[in-house]
């Protein structure tokens, strides 16, 4: 994964509900394409269940879908670290580290 390819710059305000990420268009397009494929995988899995497909085959597709979701999360996490976290630390906002720990804990529950 190239650093510039998945660069995400975030904008932070004092009000955390107003914080937004500003993804470069190429990153948004990549993430959208990945999520569209995942959406298709989910529809396919629903169809497999409706057709009483063998459980092991459904589980295999679930595993592939989870892997695809993890890839999206990795891209977002990398951009968050290189953009949001670095920016907020440079502004002296060390609370971002506690937020990051919580975010990583959420990802590791999977």
Query: What percent of the chain is helix, strand and coil (3-state, nearest 5)?
Result: 70, 5, 25
Output DSSP code: residue 21: E
d(CA 87, CA 49): 46
CB-CB neighbours of 1 under 10 Å: 8
Q: pLDDT tens digit string along 19-34?
A: 777 778 999 999 999 9
Does residue 2 register a pLDDT over 60?
A: no
pLDDT value at residue 45: 98
- Does residue 23 contact residue 8 with C-beta atoms inside 8 Å? yes
Give the mean pLDDT of the chain.
86
The residue among 16, 19, 38 whose CA lies nearest residue 8 is 19
Average pLDDT rounded to a whole number, residues 50-71: 97
pLDDT value at residue 12: 44
Could you confirm whether domain 35-108 is CATH 2.40.10.120? Answer: no
Which three-class secondary structure state does DSSP give residue 11?
strand
Task: Give the predicted TM-score (pTM) of the model.
Answer: 0.77
- Does residue 71 contact residue 31 with C-beta atoms inside 8 Å? no
């Amino acid at each position: 994964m190239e650093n510039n390819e998945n660069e995400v710059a975030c904008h932070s305000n004092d009000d955390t509900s107003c914080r937004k990420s500003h993804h470069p268009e190429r990153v948004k397009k990549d993430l959208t394409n990945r999520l569209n494929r995942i959406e298709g995988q989910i529809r396919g899995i629903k169809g497999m269940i409706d057709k009483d497909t063998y459980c092991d085959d459904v589980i295999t597709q679930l595993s592939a879908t989870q892997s695809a979701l993890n890839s999206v999360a990795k891209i977002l996490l990398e951009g968050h670290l290189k953009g949001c976290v670095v920016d907020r630390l440079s502004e002296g906002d060390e609370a971002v580290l506690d937020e990051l720990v919580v975010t990583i804990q959420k990802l590791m529950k999977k």
